[in-house]
């Protein structure tokens, strides 16, 4: 029987720490002591290694306590992200900042579905809300969204409609950061959005204006009041293709 992430994401202590000196090692009550995955201090290598151990495993196998038996729907889409967070012992929180504080890495789970006979990203990767009040004063070198793009842990999972969440399977996982070509495209998109906002043309923003980095509608206001930075779906599909070796990097 496979272990859930509650057990799977633990590390054994040294043999001398497994039981108190006074406890009989032959006792049936003797249990191994475990420690949580050190998400706040883990290195990039430790984080990526743990993520790759999830590949090929269904979500039901990873964290059954979070009830992944329900079918996927917009109301419970957050369950998948919570399951992957639990695999790294990241507590539920809504604070700003990276999920892996010490390494400065954010965790993003991305659904993959079949589109036109080919696996593609079902959603954009959201990078946080756009602050229209401060954006005109920003420069790319210190832009808020640029820090979000520094390095991310991307976990791709297979999504199917009307399917129990627990049957979704992890397809690929790894650290990602934009290469030189992608960085130039992202900067150009950011500059276009920033200039439009600075010129008072915020309501003219549209995702169709950019190639990689988008200003996606999110929240109330039908796009005119609130938007979020995001990596667009075709680009996310390209990242997935590179990660599984289908597409050249």
CB 103 within 8 A of CB 97: no
pLDDT tens by residue, 105-138: 999 999 999 988 899 999 999 999 999 999 999 9
How far apart, in Å, are the Cα atoms of 75 and each of 71, 163, 248? 10, 14, 36
**Per-residue pLDDT at 116:** 82
User: pLDDT category, 36, cuts 50, 70, 90?
Assistant: confident
**Per-residue pLDDT at 162:** 83
How far apart, in Å, are the Cα atoms of 80 and each of 127, 129, 219, 222? 18, 21, 21, 26
Q: Is residue 27 predicted with pLDDT exceeding 70?
A: no
pLDDT tens by residue, 43-92: 999 999 999 999 999 998 887 776 667 777 777 778 899 999 999 999 88
How far apart, in Å, are the Cα atoms of 133 and each of 80, 96, 138, 221? 33, 18, 10, 16
User: pLDDT category, 17, cuts 50, 70, 90?
Assistant: very low
Highest mean pLDDT among 3-17, 27-41, 120-134: 120-134
95-104, 105-114, 191-200, 233-242: least confident range: 95-104
How far apart, in Å, are the Cα atoms of 219 and each of 47, 67, 68, 222, 227? 32, 27, 26, 8, 7
**Per-residue pLDDT at 35:** 67
User: pLDDT category, 7, cuts 50, 70, 90?
Assistant: very low
Query: CATH for 37-243, among 3.40.50.261, 3.40.600.10, 3.40.640.10, 3.40.50.150?
Result: 3.40.600.10
**Per-residue pLDDT at 1:** 44
Q: Is residue 26 predicted with pLDDT exceeding 60?
A: no
pTM greater than the 0.85 cutoff: no
């Amino acid at each position: 029987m496979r272990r859930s992430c509650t057990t799977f994401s633990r590390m054994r202590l040294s043999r001398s720490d497994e039981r108190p000196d006074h406890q009989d090692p032959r006792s049936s009550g003797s249990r191994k002591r475990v420690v949580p995955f050190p998400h706040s201090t883990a290195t990039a290598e430790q984080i990526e290694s743990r993520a790759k151990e999830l590949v090929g495993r269904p979500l039901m196998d990873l964290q059954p306590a979070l009830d992944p038996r329900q079918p996927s729907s917009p109301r419970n889409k957050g369950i998948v992200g919570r399951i992957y967070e639990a695999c790294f012992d990241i507590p539920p929180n809504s604070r700003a900042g990276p999920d892996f504080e010490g390494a400065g890495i954010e965790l993003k789970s991305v659904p993959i579905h079949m589109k036109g006979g080919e696996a593609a990203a079902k959603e954009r990767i959201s990078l946080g809300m756009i602050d229209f009040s401060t954006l005109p004063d920003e420069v790319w070198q210190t832009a808020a969204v640029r820090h979000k793009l520094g390095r991310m842990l991307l976990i791709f999972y297979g999504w199917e409609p009307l399917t129990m969440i627990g049957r979704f399977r992890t397809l690929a996982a790894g650290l990602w950061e934009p290469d030189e070509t992608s960085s130039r495209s992202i900067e150009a998109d950011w500059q276009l959005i920033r200039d439009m906002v600075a010129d008072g043309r915020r309501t003219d923003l549209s995702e169709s204006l950019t190639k990689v980095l988008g200003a996606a509608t999110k929240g109330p206001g039908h796009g005119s009041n609130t938007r979020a930075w995001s990596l667009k779906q075709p680009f996310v599909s390209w990242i997935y293709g590179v990660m599984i070796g289908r597409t050249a990097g």
